[in-house]
Amino acid sequence: MQHKKLRPLIYHNGIEWKDWECYNKKQNNVAILVGGGPSLNKIDVSKLAGPGKTIFGLNTTYPKVHPDIWVGMDDPKCYDRKIFHEPFPKILRGSYWDKECEGISLLDLPSCYFARVKEVTHKGELFYHIDEDCENFVWAKNVFVTAINLILYMGFRKVYLAGVDFSLEQGDYHDPNNSLSEDNRRWNKNLYKQLYNYTDWLCSTGKMCGIDIVSISPESPINEVVPYISLETLNSSISLPTTEKLYHCAELEKPEVVSKEYKKLLAYEHQTSTWGISAGKMIGTLETFLQENKATEVLDYGAGSSSFKKALKDTSIKVYEYDPGVEGIDKIPEPKNYTICIDVLEHIEPDFIDTVLQDLARVTKIKGYFTIAMYPAKRVLKDGRNAHLIVEKTEWWMDKICKYFNISNFSESNKQLDVQVMPKKYSI
């Protein structure tokens, strides 16, 4: 029987123990590891959090810093009790699962996770505990090393240290109320010396493994062995998408408007001959329509050989193009104020005509100008079909169009239908 592989983080769901699957081969965010050293007071902690960053708080950094993930490897009595009622994940040493916080079992408190840890004989073992086969985090009898292991295991490769000083030169902690006795100062001083050297090694060795360790604490003693940048520099370096518009979900529904087989056939027809030039031939009519409506943008839906864009003389009108059979303009388009669809609808697969008209209604924000040929084409497609897949009368087309648009003007001449439309306002 194949046994289930153990994971280094577990939690209790009220019935049984479960693994927390937080291994990630790659993280887009950067990690900020916040320690409780005096240099934390030289950072505007309100600027620590934000998109692109994941904040890991250690020990007594709470409540000065509200992290995304908190790590504490000591008895719950060592920390502000309110932290165990916070919603963010809290990582505790695995052997402390049976501890209580003010009479309440940690198992009954929100988002408490327990780390399986194992003592190591050499610091280099850290790098053997950051892949998906990891069953335990390294334990060097301090929270910093285990937290680093957790961060690397979660896929972070850029780690920024805030308030990580490993020195008593500037004070005991960022919080003057957490002063140390002389015995505890001696104990911390010995630990900090080890961790200072460990971080020096980690910084240089990590670089060879694609891991960047950087300090963002000004005037911190750790800056002698770790590169330093300001928090402002870090924040300005994080590249985030801009949000120009929030869309209603209905605006983003982009149905399939062509079958895969027909899309390939269209691509073949466009590659082997010039096809789709009707819009260029009626440029005068279309340009007048756009100018009368003071249009500054138009979507050519079914642009073919780009004849409209090539013929348009009014440079104040920006042209967007869509055609499923032309590489480069075959992506479903975004809505524009005005839309033209010239001698296109008769080429649509009959099973897709309603979907295409619905999509035209989606992309037409103000007005559209459509022309439809109501007779067989001279062109025969490679598969033997007439290029006009739909040959119907005026009444049929008007019924179809009226399902999705209000018709503002139309005319018929020589079995060609010219229709000006405005989209209906659907109630959601």
362 and 417 share a domain?
yes
Q: Residues 255, 259, 260, 262: is their CA dihedral positive or negative?
A: negative
Provide the pLDDT for residue 426.
Answer: 40
CA dist 26 and 337 (Å) reads 41
138 and 263 share a domain?
no
pTM of the predicted model, to two decimals?
A: 0.67
Q: What is the domain range of residue 265?
A: 249-423
Contact status, residue 203 vs residue 226, Cβ threshold 8 Å = yes
Phi, psi of 128 (to 5 degrees): -95, 0
The reply to whether 2 falls in a domain is no
* Helix (H/G/I), strand (E/B), else coil: 251: helix
Provide the pLDDT for residue 425.
Answer: 63
Show the beta-strand stretches assigned E in 236-329. 297-301, 318-322
69 and 178 share a domain?
yes
Task: Please classify residue 169 by burial: count the beta carbons closer than 10 Å to its beta carbon, then call 0-12 exposed, 13-18 middle and 19+ buried.
Answer: exposed
The reply to whether 4 falls in a domain is no
Provide the pLDDT for residue 55.
Answer: 98
**Nearby residues of 17 by Cβ (< 8 Å), 6 or more positions away:** 10, 11
96 and 28 share a domain?
yes
CA dist 234 and 217 (Å) reads 12
Could you read off the pLDDT tens digit of each residue along the chain, which spans 428 residues? 345 678 999 999 999 999 999 999 888 999 999 999 999 999 999 999 999 999 999 999 999 999 999 999 999 999 999 999 999 999 999 999 999 999 999 999 999 999 999 998 888 888 888 888 899 999 999 999 999 999 999 999 999 999 999 999 999 889 888 888 999 999 999 999 999 999 999 999 999 889 999 999 999 999 999 999 999 999 999 998 888 778 777 666 677 899 999 999 999 999 988 888 999 999 999 999 999 999 999 999 999 999 999 999 999 999 999 999 999 999 989 999 999 999 999 999 999 999 999 999 999 999 999 999 999 999 999 999 999 999 999 999 999 999 999 999 999 999 999 999 999 864 33
Query: In 3D, which of 298, 276, 277 has the Cα closest to residue 287?
Result: 298
211 and 271 share a domain?
no
Q: 304: domain CATH number?
A: 3.40.50.150
CA dist 332 and 355 (Å) reads 13
Provide the pLDDT for residue 124.
Answer: 85
Q: Would strands 17-19 and 9-12 be described as parallel, antiparallel, or unpaired?
A: antiparallel
The reply to whether 243 falls in a domain is no
* Helix (H/G/I), strand (E/B), else coil: 204: helix
